Amino acid sequence: MTEEQNQKNPKEPTEPGPPPTPFDHPLFLPILLVAGVVWFGYDGWINADPDMVEHQTFNRYGFGLLLILSAWFGYKGWGEWQEDRAKAAALTSEPPEEGSNPRD
Helices vs strands, H then E, count in the chain: 3, 0
User: Considering Cα of 60, then 65, then 68, then 69, what sign does the dihedral take?
Assistant: negative
| Structural domain includes residue 57 | yes
Average pLDDT over residues 70-81: 96
List the domain range (segments joined by +) for residue 73: 25-86
CA distance 71 to 53: 27
| Structural domain includes residue 93 | no
| Structural domain includes residue 103 | no
CA distance 34 to 101: 48
| Structural domain includes residue 10 | no
Per-residue model confidence as pLDDT tens digits over 7-64: 555 555 567 788 888 888 899 999 999 999 999 999 999 998 999 889 999 999 999 9
Q: How many domains in the chain?
A: 1
* pTM for this model (two decimals): 0.69
pLDDT confidence bin for 4, thresholds 50/70/90: low
